[in-house]
Structure 1
Amino acid sequence: MASSGGRTARLWRRVHVGRNPLARRGDRLEARLLVTFLLVALFAIPVMASLGSETYAARLAVAEREAGAKHQAKAVLLADAPVSMTAGEMENVRVRASWRTPDGFDRVGEVATYRGSTRGTEIPVWLDERGDLTSPPVTKSGAATDAVSVAISAWLGVLALCALVFAAVRGLLSRLRAAQWAREWARVEREWSRR
């Protein structure tokens, strides 16, 4: 197993071909491309951090809007939830329930609940301004999670794009090198066969 010092030395030789007389133009191009993509990945970090910060601010604005527009209520199940589960079914089921809107009206609809919940069980639900069921509002921790996810995903996207371009260029250079080797061997073979 190679030591980390050996890996570092190999990476340095790959990136810095220098004045090595055995280095071909393709080797130098590959080294420059590798350095360029490493710098792109490095300089993408603050850009993606800024993107994450903007996402966080936008999600916090949504959280503030939703905090005033969404209301938590209790829905009361009107029937028992099924207990058994067949293959492919989810743990949660939808069961008819009733709830009271913020302006005092009773509504009936289906809510998600756990299997085996009995009639009369109170289920916490979120309602919009009209009293319809809606998703829970965005929280600060949810906004932070979204921001981190966006920043990391975007940075990984930049890394993947750099890796794909580098792999494509390296593959093309490898094919060109192999073709050059084949031509050189054919020339050498002709010269050896004359002797």
Structure 2
Amino acid sequence: MMDWIGRRLRWLTSFGNPLTGRWDRFEMGLVIVAVALALGMVPVALSIGSAVRAQTAAQAAEEQASRVPSTAVLLTDVPQADTSPATRVHTAEATWQLPDGQSRTGRVSADAGTRAGTRVPIWLDRAGNAVARPRSTGDALGTGIGVGMYSWVASVALLIVLCWVARMLLNRRRHADLAREWATFSRDLKRF
């Protein structure tokens, strides 16, 4: 690792080297610009993550204000789970009481293998429908951090790909220049 870092530092400081060609200098300039852009994307990614966190926190607050916990009684058995962890939770027909005393029937989520007659916790919206648990402020924070990190990593990945493509194109130019110089050298050598 230290050897790799040392080679990169020597490469970046080789602007004054007489053996450094114009395409090498151009590539070094591209790398410096790419690093500066990657560092400049940090505050952009932070602001994106902050905006997403604020929006998700507002949605979470609205969900917390409009949803109430309740209990449903399963009317049917929930099928047993197979070996896949994705099938641990299923939906089943259930009934629950609304705050005004009316009874409502619908499908709710329950763990695999739960028997009919079992009471399961649910969340109700203002209309009395079974809905997902409201998001918390911690969920909003996690979403904001995830989106911010993803946006920065995606921008850095794009910069890496662009630098790689530029290097491939510059290598073609280097090889063409080298072939032209060898042809000139060979022609001059034949004159002697």
Q: Could you tell me the TM-score, scaled by structure 1's length?
A: 0.88
Counterpart of 2:40 in structure 1 is 43
Shift in alpha-carbon separation, 1:171–1:112, aligned structure 2, 3 A: same
Tell me how far 1:76 sits from its aligned partner: 0.8
Calculate the aligned-residue CA RMSD, in Å.
Answer: 2.2
Output the amino acid matched with 2:110: T
Shift in alpha-carbon separation, 1:122–1:88, aligned structure 2, 3 A: closer
Count of residues in Structure 1 that have an aligned counterpart in Structure 2: 192
What 5-or-longer segments of structure 2 have no aligned partner? none
For residues 105 and 118 of structure 1, what CA distance do their matches in structure 2 show? Answer: 24
Shift in alpha-carbon separation, 1:134–1:194, aligned structure 2, 3 A: same
Q: Which 4+ stretches in 1 moved above 6 angstroms?
A: 86-89
Could you give the per-residue CA deviations for residues 47-73 of structure 1, whole angstroms, max 9, x where no partner exists? 212222222222221111111111111
1:107 matched to 2:98? The reply is no
Counterpart of 1:68 in structure 2 is 65
Output the amino acid matched with 2:99: P
What 5-or-longer segments of structure 1 have no aligned partner? none
Choose which of 48, 52, 58 in structure 1 pairs with 2:49.
52
Choose which of 137, 158, 176 in structure 1 pairs with 2:173.
176
Choose which of 152, 155, 159 in structure 2 pairs with 1:162.
159
Tell me how far 1:88 sits from its aligned partner: 10
Counterpart of 2:132 in structure 1 is 135
Counterpart of 1:16 in structure 2 is 13
Query: 1:128–1:134: 8 Å Cα contact kept in structure 2?
Result: yes
Counterpart of 1:33 in structure 2 is 30
For residues 143 and 165 of structure 1, what CA distance do their matches in structure 2 show? Answer: 33
Shift in alpha-carbon separation, 1:8–1:77, aligned structure 2, 3 A: same
